[in-house]
Amino acid sequence: MIEIIPAIDIIDGKCVRLSQGDYGKQTTYSATPREMAELYADSGVRRIHLVDLDGAKAGKPCNLASLREIASSGALDIEWGGGIKEPSHLEAVLEAGADHAIIGSLAVKQPEIMEEWLERFGGEKIILGADLRDGKVAVSGWLEDSPLTIHDLMERFIPHGLKEVIVTDISKDGMLQGPSTQLYVDLAERYPGIIFTVSGGISSLDDIKRLDTLGLQRVIVGKAIYENRISLPELKEYINR
């Protein structure tokens, strides 16, 4: 059964959601990151997806205080992305309580460091984050496009122990129009030894049911929960298992 991973996107210590990665299309919510994390933990969620949007833009972690607050309870498995550009950043994120570090821009711009981290920390701790725009990988908080495809990254990092990849279709993110289902099915078939996490576009419980039926393993749900398109009780069969 597919695993639900709620997303908490953070700007200036607040919960936000962007539409298509546009910082100018930002919705800020009243609940704090810690409050949302506690709500998810109380609902039986095991893993959450934290994104430091300030960090992604600045090129260094900026919301570690929120990470420390959430990690202090020890109730959740935390994957953290945004602004991890050098060894000191990775060290700071892990020391603050992240269980997994999502590496995106650095994997594109300095792939040799990504290879080193995969070999040193393992593919369970170091997760590749691939954010796609028109088939190409975007970096720096989705503000820059690279010439690389997801397949370029997969072929480079699998020999070094890559095991988990979060793939986001930027055109779908925050739009509540449904995910790019075929993209994930194709990736799972091409790379059967890799765990792919669906990210972007989840709008209803039907989206999740379809992904589950197709055998996909993980899905990140963000805006649909904030906007009450999907309730936590509805997700109970996927969370409490």
pTM of full prediction above 0.85 = yes
- Asked if residues 133 and 164 have their Cβ atoms less than 8 Å apart, the reply is no
Helix or strand or coil: residue 70?
helix
Rounded distance between C-alpha atoms, residue 224 and residue 229, angstroms: 5
Residue 52: pLDDT band with limits 50, 70, 90:
very high
Distances (CA, A) of 60 to 10, 42, 50, 87, 88: 14, 31, 15, 11, 9
The answer to whether residues 108 and 131 touch, using CB atoms and an 8 Å cutoff, is: no
Domain ranges of the chain: 3-239
pLDDT of residue 56: 87
Catalytic residues: 9, 131
H-helix or E-strand spanning residue 50: strand 47-52
3-239 CATH fold:
TIM Barrel (3.20.20)
- Categorize the per-residue pLDDT at 22 as very low, low, confident or very high, splitting at 50, 70 and 90: confident
Which among 65, 110, 48 is positioned nearest to 84, based on CA atoms? 110
Band of residue 24 on the pLDDT scale cut at 50, 70, 90: confident
| Residue 18 pLDDT | 79
% of the chain exceeding 70 in pLDDT: 96
Residue 141's pLDDT band (boundaries 50, 70, 90)?
low
Give the pair of three-digit tokens for residue 54: 């300030």
Query: What single string gives the DSSP state of each residue in 100-140?
Result: EEEE-HHHHH-HHHHHHHHHHH-TTTEEEEEEEETTEEEET
157 sits in which H/E element:
helix 150-157
Residue 34: both structure tokens together? 């810690």
DSSP state of 204: S
Give the tens place of pLDDT for each residue, 68-92: 999 999 999 999 999 999 999 999 9
Residue 170 has pLDDT above 90, yes or no: no
